[in-house]
Structure 1
Amino acid sequence: MTEYSRCPPRFLALVALWLTILGVACATETAPDLVLRGRLDGSDNHSYRDVPFDVPAGVNRITVQFEYSGREEHTAVDLGLKDPDGFHGQQGLRGWTGGSKRLFTVGAVDATPSFSPGPIQPGRWHLLLGIPNIRAASTSDFTAKIWFGHPGDPAWQPAVLHPALRTGPGWYRGDLHMHGAHSDGSCKSESGDARVPCPLSFTVEDAARRGLDFIALSDHNAVSQANDIRELQPYYDRLLLIPSREVTTFQGHGNLLGSSEPLDFRLGSKAVPDWNALLTQAAGLHGVFSINHPIRPNDETCMGCGWTPAQPVDMHLVQAIEAVNGMDSLSPTYSGIAFWQEQLDKGFHLTGIGGSDSHDVKLPLPAPGGSNPIGIPTTVVHAGELSMQAIVEAIRAGHVYIDTQGKPGSAFDFAATAGDRTVEMGDTLPAPRNSTVRVAIHVKGMAGAHGEIIVDGHLVKPKADLAIRDAEQSLSFDWPSDGRRHWLRANVRAADGTLLIVGNPVYLND
């Protein structure tokens, strides 16, 4: 016998409302859409049992968490999933775990290993239970919690699939732009005789070896890497793998971070006439959209690379700018920092981020005029925890700085105080006319460098010593407020002028 129950949506809505009122982050697990319960006994030994459930229309993901009792009596239950109409020609079998997994997901694009991704048809599905052992006098109670996903859901739902890899606030280091076998990333084959599409596992292993906390796997217009992520993430439990893609058009490139949902990238077509149509699509997917390497040629040397929209773009639909791509912070020709600052001057709160744009994960050092190793530059994010939702939301909020050299052990923090309120990078600070803004900078691992301050795109020299003499040092100065709107940020440069750190702004009176 199998029992069914559904979660009461009105009760959940009231809980969510109270959590909001109390200021509790709503990153907690949502209740399942369906709960199936049943009992096995000795007569089920060496048999299979179908446990049916109905999938409504409009579902693009099924997630199942399965538990059963009796393990102490050596009861064993294997688990599979069948769809309504024989997908893959195996009597509807979409996967079989043996006894290896108690939590799995099957989606239109990706699935837990052991299962096949593909369309989720509405209708009668079945959990398939195989019982290799249950003693004659034993019983076993099982519970299957089932979540249904829908188009447009954030990639981090249901939360049962995406636990935080590290809890608690911190500065988490990552790379937001890279390519592998799912687009044009390549490396030498095992024999070394040819360049071949580079397996995603090499990319992930390289990022882990370099000590990064997260990476966004951003192949050109592809989301097929999401299926590989399902396999790799459980093993890499210290490195967060964020599904992403580089939206590649004839009028520029941009990363959509934190989504594997379909996105029509055919800019200039009847379906996607301009960037605003494309960005409006992206806005419904809960990720972050960044304009990549905006100051690049858009010709036969780099087709479609530069930001060259044919029609005006509503920049409110953009959340970030790739201010540093690879080593272009060293180049006055290709650096995206000036483009980013132009948008800040227009009043847009756009987060400056960095990405290696790596196309060869086996590259040990930057290649002049070519690819870069993963992690150069590193985007450093102040997030509440190491989870996909927390990283994406912190990038959106601007709680970010760029370490252009990807130097492990270095650190940077920037805060501003007016009255009794202190804010960090990306935040807005009210500062009435004739008040004083106290700016505090904390640096680590950059002895011999010096800070520089940019206000509204112009380098200013406060009445303070911004030289960094120690391995760890705090700097501060006062800035008089005129009560008007400004943005203020800091860089760190080496003694030879090399840009080491690009900080995001604090916005005043905005």
Structure 2
Amino acid sequence: MSFASAADGDGREDGRETRTVRGTLPPGSPDFVYVPVDVPDGVREIRVSYTYDRPPVPAGTPGNALDIGVFDERGTELGGRGFRGWSGGARSEFFLRADDATPGYLPGPVRAGTWHIALGPYTVAPQGLSYEITVTLTYGEPGEPVRPVYPPERAEGRGRAWYRGDCHLHSWHSDGRRTPAEIAALARAAGLDFINSSEHNTHAAHAHWAEAAGDDLLVLLGEEVTTRNGHVVAIGTDPGTFVDWRYRARDDRFGRSARRIRRAGGLVVPAHPHATCIGCAWKFGFGEADAVEVWNGPWTPDDEVALADWDGTLVASVRDEREDRDGRGWIPAMGGSDAHRAPDVVGLPQTVVLADGLTRQAVLDGIRAGRSYVVESGRVSLSFTASGGRGEHAGIGERLRVDRDTPVTVRLEVAGAPRCTVRLVTDQGVLHTGAPLPVSGSGVVEWRTTPSYAAYVRAEVRHETAAGPLPGAMAGFTNPVFLGRR
């Protein structure tokens, strides 16, 4: 797609020029297709709109779905040097200029050179996918560049304490419908202390969270990296960090992205690993994970599978002789709401983290260490400890260092979970199921074991189930306490 030079007024109307290109993508198209656009000097704004056909398809066959984004004259190479925005399938048009851009896109100068409209054929019908892209360039002096302002890395906090957060949220800067201000208001109403910006495949929201943060709410910055073989949430990265998503597990490129997240100070957290949507199930393995999102939104069967899968990694960690002396050869669990729009509930679930303060670094350290539990709302609180006979004591995510035959007392205190049932789970499975909690929702459960009998213990609090052998929906669960000197 070529445009006349700025010195040539032919084809312009009111300082604008428009071109349209059409094409068809067959089934089996590449994951990403790039349409080059030659942009001349003197452009103030670039505006892109697109449409595509949606023919009927046989039952059980995916129809057409086409994502879109844009890269500027710096190119489309992996790593995103030329990245200027992505809206997936959430928008049919977008614009960019120096002083403003559509949510999900980065404002900045429209420099001369070859730009690329990035198309992502998420699914293609058997008949193929026919598309039409219209690009309009507006000429003139560029607006005043925008200087990004980011939220602070600390809030007031309560010193070393348990802080509640939701690290998986979407605003209108990707495919959500809420503004950052609306999300922040809902987070405060849910009793949250921190949240994380996690838009699909763009960091454009980072500069729009400063006004929503405050002494009572820490806003971390990140991204949901949405690949064709699973999604990973980057939590708490440096402001302005972009993480590329254009690869599959077979490409052996995820390790590079994980290192990018860590270099930017963030955590690598595979999201909803057993989700059933196309491209959502996690296929990269957990070797790069700092934690795993076991609970995503309202409790569903895929969360149950994710919990069982994660528990299997705990068994593997206590079997692995290479585990370090701090017992950190395991992957902590966490949860996130993945809330996009009403009626999605911000803070369902929420991860409750023991941190030295309400700062970016302290919260990330707590999540990484597994000093956390996950609950369905701010009403539910858990306290889970293990103690030996000589004053030894360990909490969630820690190791009780006692001899293998030392008697150990495990204690769970619950509040805010009426008529729920407590289950204590070890490397052997569920070894204790208590009576339902009273209608007050508060209660204490104690259980005794030894490290030789249970290498770790974790707690679950489940709702009543109508019938059958399956456990009820989750009200809350903890990361494990490990037992023994190993």
What's the TM-score bracket when you normalise by the shorter of the two chains?
A: 0.5 to 0.7
Look up the equivalent residue of 2:263 and give its one-letter code: G
Residue matched to 1:444: 415
C-alpha contact (below 8 Å) 2:223/2:233 kept by paired residues: yes
Residue matched to 2:324: none
Give SS of 1:401's match. Answer: strand
- How many Å separate the matches in 1 of 2:392 and 2:304? 38
Look up the equivalent residue of 1:395 and give its one-letter code: I
- How many Å separate the matches in 1 of 2:338 and 2:232? 12
Are 1:506 and 2:481 matched, yes or no? Answer: yes
Match of 1:204 among 176, 181, 184: 184
C-alpha contact (below 8 Å) 2:225/2:244 kept by paired residues: no
Are 1:231 and 2:211 matched, yes or no? Answer: yes
Aligned residues with identical type, % of pairs: 27
Look up the equivalent residue of 2:159 and give its one-letter code: G
Look up the equivalent residue of 1:221 and give its one-letter code: N
Are 1:350 and 2:331 matched, yes or no? Answer: yes
Match of 2:352 among 376, 380, 387: 380
Residue matched to 1:248: 226
Are 1:308 and 2:286 matched, yes or no? Answer: no
Match of 1:217 among 197, 203, 206: 197
C-alpha contact (below 8 Å) 1:267/1:278 kept by paired residues: no
In structure 1, runs of 5+ residues without a counterpart are 1-86, 90-113, 119-154, 187-197, 366-371
Residue matched to 2:366: 394
Residue matched to 1:189: none
Give SS of 1:319's match. Answer: coil
C-alpha contact (below 8 Å) 2:275/2:302 kept by paired residues: no
C-alpha contact (below 8 Å) 1:452/1:466 kept by paired residues: no
> CA 1:295/1:274 → structure 2, altered by over 3 Å: closer, same or farther?
same
- How many Å separate the matches in 2 of 1:357 and 1:180? 10
- Alpha-carbon shift at residue 267 of structure 1 (Å): 2.4
Are 1:359 and 2:340 matched, yes or no? Answer: yes
- How many Å separate the matches in 2 of 1:499 and 1:240? 27
- How many Å separate the matches in 1 of 2:231 and 2:387? 37
Are 1:495 and 2:474 matched, yes or no? Answer: no
1:14-413 aligned at under 5 Å gives the runs 116-117=147-148, 161-186=152-177, 198-233=178-213, 236-259=214-237, 260=239, 261-268=241-248, 273-297=252-276, 302-309=277-284, 313=285, 315-327=286-298, 329-331=299-301, 335-347=305-317, 348-360=329-341, 363=342, 365=343, 372-404=344-376, 406=377, 408-413=378-383
The superposition leaves residues 370-416 of structure 1 with CA deviations (integer Å, 9 ceiling, x where unpaired) of xx211111111122222222111111111111113x2x332111111
- How many Å separate the matches in 2 of 1:415 and 1:221? 39
- Alpha-carbon shift at residue 163 of structure 1 (Å): 3.6
Residue matched to 2:398: 427
- How many Å separate the matches in 2 of 1:359 and 1:428? 37
- How many Å separate the matches in 2 of 1:438 and 1:288? 33
Look up the equivalent residue of 1:416 and give its one-letter code: A
- Alpha-carbon shift at residue 285 of structure 1 (Å): 2.4
Look up the equivalent residue of 2:407 and give its one-letter code: T
- How many Å separate the matches in 2 of 1:438 and 1:269? 43
- Alpha-carbon shift at residue 280 of structure 1 (Å): 2.7
- Alpha-carbon shift at residue 164 of structure 1 (Å): 3.2
Match of 2:442 among 472, 475, 491: 472
- Alpha-carbon shift at residue 292 of structure 1 (Å): 0.4
C-alpha contact (below 8 Å) 2:156/2:358 kept by paired residues: yes
The number of residues matched between the two structures is 323
- Alpha-carbon shift at residue 258 of structure 1 (Å): 0.4
Residue matched to 1:98: none
- Alpha-carbon shift at residue 287 of structure 1 (Å): 1.7
C-alpha contact (below 8 Å) 2:384/2:411 kept by paired residues: yes
In structure 2, runs of 5+ residues without a counterpart are 1-107, 111-144, 318-328, 466-471
Residue matched to 1:192: none
- How many Å separate the matches in 2 of 1:220 and 1:275? 16
- How many Å separate the matches in 2 of 1:333 and 1:217? 22
Look up the equivalent residue of 1:393 and give its one-letter code: D
- Alpha-carbon shift at residue 427 of structure 1 (Å): 1.1
Cα RMSD of the aligned pairs, angstroms, is 2.8
- Alpha-carbon shift at residue 185 of structure 1 (Å): 0.8
- Alpha-carbon shift at residue 266 of structure 1 (Å): 2.7
The superposition leaves residues 402-457 of structure 1 with CA deviations (integer Å, 9 ceiling, x where unpaired) of 113x2x33211111112432111111222312111111111112232221011016
The superposition leaves residues 111-139 of structure 1 with CA deviations (integer Å, 9 ceiling, x where unpaired) of xxx96149xxxxxxxxxxxxxxxxxxxxx
- Alpha-carbon shift at residue 171 of structure 1 (Å): 1.9
Give SS of 2:281's match. Answer: coil
- How many Å separate the matches in 1 of 2:249 and 2:304? 29
Residue matched to 2:45: none
Residue matched to 1:481: 451
Residue matched to 2:469: none
- How many Å separate the matches in 2 of 1:444 and 1:117? 42
Residue matched to 2:135: none
- How many Å separate the matches in 2 of 1:498 and 1:388? 31
> CA 1:117/1:241 → structure 2, altered by over 3 Å: closer, same or farther?
closer
Residue matched to 1:64: none
- How many Å separate the matches in 2 of 1:163 and 1:333? 32
The superposition leaves residues 182-235 of structure 1 with CA deviations (integer Å, 9 ceiling, x where unpaired) of 11112xxxxxxxxxxx322222222223322111111012212111122332xx
The superposition leaves residues 319-376 of structure 1 with CA deviations (integer Å, 9 ceiling, x where unpaired) of 111111111x33257642122112222214211111111110xx2x4xxxxxx21111
> CA 1:429/1:267 → structure 2, altered by over 3 Å: closer, same or farther?
farther
C-alpha contact (below 8 Å) 1:176/1:217 kept by paired residues: yes
Residue matched to 2:65: none
- How many Å separate the matches in 2 of 1:437 and 1:506? 11
Query: Normalised by the size of structure 1, how large is the TM-score?
Result: 0.58
- How many Å separate the matches in 2 of 1:334 and 1:420? 36
